[in-house]
Amino acid sequence: MTIQEIANELNISVSTVSKALNGASDVSAATRQTVCAYAKKVGYKTKRSLKLKGRLGLLWAKKPEDKFSAASQVADAFRKEAQDNMYLVFSDDLHSVDASFDLNEYMKRQGLDAAIFFDLNFYSPIYKKIKHTERPLVLFDNYISDNALVSGVGCDNIHATEKAIDYLVKKGHKTIGFVGGERQSLVSAERLAGYILGLSKNSIEYRYDITYFGDFERQSGVDAANYFFQNNKEITAVVCASDNMAMGLIDQLRLLGKKIPQDVSIIGFDDLEILRYTNYNLSTIRQDFEAIGQKAFHILDSMLSGQPAQRAILGFKLIERDTVIKLADQNDPLHSPT
Domain ranges of the chain: 3-155+289-314, 157-288
Q: What is the CATH number of domain 157-288?
A: 3.40.50.2300
Q: Which residues contact 19 (CB under 8 A, 6 or more apart)?
A: 26, 27, 80, 83, 84
Residues 215 and 242: their CA atoms lie apart, in Å, by 9
Same fold, 3-155+289-314 and 157-288: yes
SS3 253: helix
Q: Note the pTM of the prediction, 2 decimals.
A: 0.82
C-alpha distances (whole Å) from 66 to each of 2, 217, 223 are 36, 12, 21
User: Candidates 3.40.50.300, 3.40.50.2300, 3.30.420.40, 2.40.50.140; correct CATH number of 3-155+289-314?
Assistant: 3.40.50.2300
Ranges in the chain, pLDDT < 50:
46-50, 330-338
Beta strands in the chain (DSSP E): 54-60, 87-93, 114-118, 137-140, 150-155, 176-180, 211-213, 237-240, 265-270, 283-287, 311-314, 316-319
Tally of residues, the chain: 338
